[in-house]
Amino acid sequence: MNTNMHGKKISTIYWPDTESEQGRMLSSKDDDLILDATYHGDHDEFWIVQKRKITGREVARYNPRYVESIIWKED
């Protein structure tokens, strides 16, 4: 990942060591999952942000360090 990927939409994220439905998070008809990638002068910072589609309000933020894999949404 790099900061050029800021705003890229995510279809699915998978958490490690889980094989059940609870081990993944999907974008939905109500929420988008979006990569937040920013540069802070001496380091890059990455987050996966869950936002409501209608209001654009952020409802959750996940550290991608703890994500096993990311499936990007096709444009």
Total domains in the fold of the chain: 1
Give the pLDDT of residue 26: 73
Q: pTM here?
A: 0.82
Give the pLDDT of residue 27: 77
Which structural domain, as residue segments, surrounds residue 16? 3-72
Whole-number Å distance between alpha carbons of 72 and 4: 14
Asked if 23 and 14 count as a contact pair (C-beta separation under 8 A), the reply is yes
DSSP string of 51-62?
A: EETTT--EEEEE
pLDDT at 71 over 70: yes
Give the pLDDT of residue 49: 95
Query: How much is the CA Rg of the chain, to the nearest whole Å?
Result: 13
What is the tens place of the pLDDT at every residue in 4-44?
Answer: 999 999 998 988 866 656 677 777 888 999 999 999 989 99
Whole-number Å distance between alpha carbons of 75 and 61: 22
